[in-house]
Amino acid sequence: MSGQAYRVARRGPGAYLPPVAVQRGWREGLRIWWREIDKVLLALVLVLMAIGFVAVAAASPAGAEQNSSAAVPLAPFYYLQRHLVFQLLGLVVMIGVSLSGADAARRLAILVGAGMLGLMVLVPFIGEEKNGARRWINLGFSLQPSEFLKPGFVVTSAWVLSWRLRDPGLPVIGIVTALLVLIVGLLMLQPNLGDAILFAGIWLVMVLLAGLPWQRLALIGGAGLAGMVLAYLFYDNARNRIESFFGGGTAFDQVDLARRTLTAGGWTGSGLWLGVRKMSLPEAHTDYIFSVIGEEFGLVACAFVVLVFSALVLRVLIRLTNEDNLFALLAGAGLVTQLGGQAFINMLVNLQLFPSKGMTLPLISYGGSSTVAVCFTLGLLLAITRRNPFLAREGGGLRALLERKEVSA
Residue 169 lies in a domain: yes
The strand pair at 128-130 and 142-143 is best described as: unpaired
251-266: per-residue pLDDT in tens? Answer: 446 777 888 888 888 8
Residues 6+ apart with CB under 8 A from 25: none
Residue 126 lies in a domain: yes
Task: Decide if 55 contacts 363 (C-beta within 8 A).
Answer: no
- Phi and psi (nearest 5°) for 402? -70, -35
Q: Report, as an integer, the average pLDDT of 266-284.
A: 87
pLDDT band at residue 150, thresholds of 50, 70 and 90? Answer: very high
Report the chain's mean pLDDT, rounded to a whole number.
83
Is pLDDT of 406 > 70? no
pLDDT for the residue 245? 58
Residue 106 lies in a domain: yes
Residue 374 lies in a domain: yes
48-91: per-residue pLDDT in tens? Answer: 999 999 999 999 998 888 888 778 888 889 999 999 999 999 99
Instruction: State the first-to-last Cα distance of the chain, in angstroms, to the nearest integer.
Output: 64
Higher pLDDT, residue 54 or 353: 54
3-state secondary structure of 169: coil
Q: Report the number of distinct structural domains present in the chain.
A: 1
Question: Which amino acid belongs to residue 182?
Answer: L
Residue 107 lies in a domain: yes
Question: Which amino acid belongs to residue 200?
Answer: A
Which residues constitute the domain of residue 232? Answer: 47-387+395-408
288-322: per-residue pLDDT in tens? Answer: 999 999 999 999 999 999 999 999 999 999 989 88
Q: What share of the chain is helix, strand, coil (3-state, %, to 5)?
A: 70, 5, 25
Residue 1 lies in a domain: no
Residue 201 lies in a domain: yes
- CA–CA gap between residue 381 and residue 331 (Å, rounded): 8
Q: Is the dihedral of CA 146, 151, 152, 154 positive or negative?
A: positive
pLDDT for the residue 247? 59
Higher pLDDT, residue 401 or 87: 87
Residue 10 lies in a domain: no
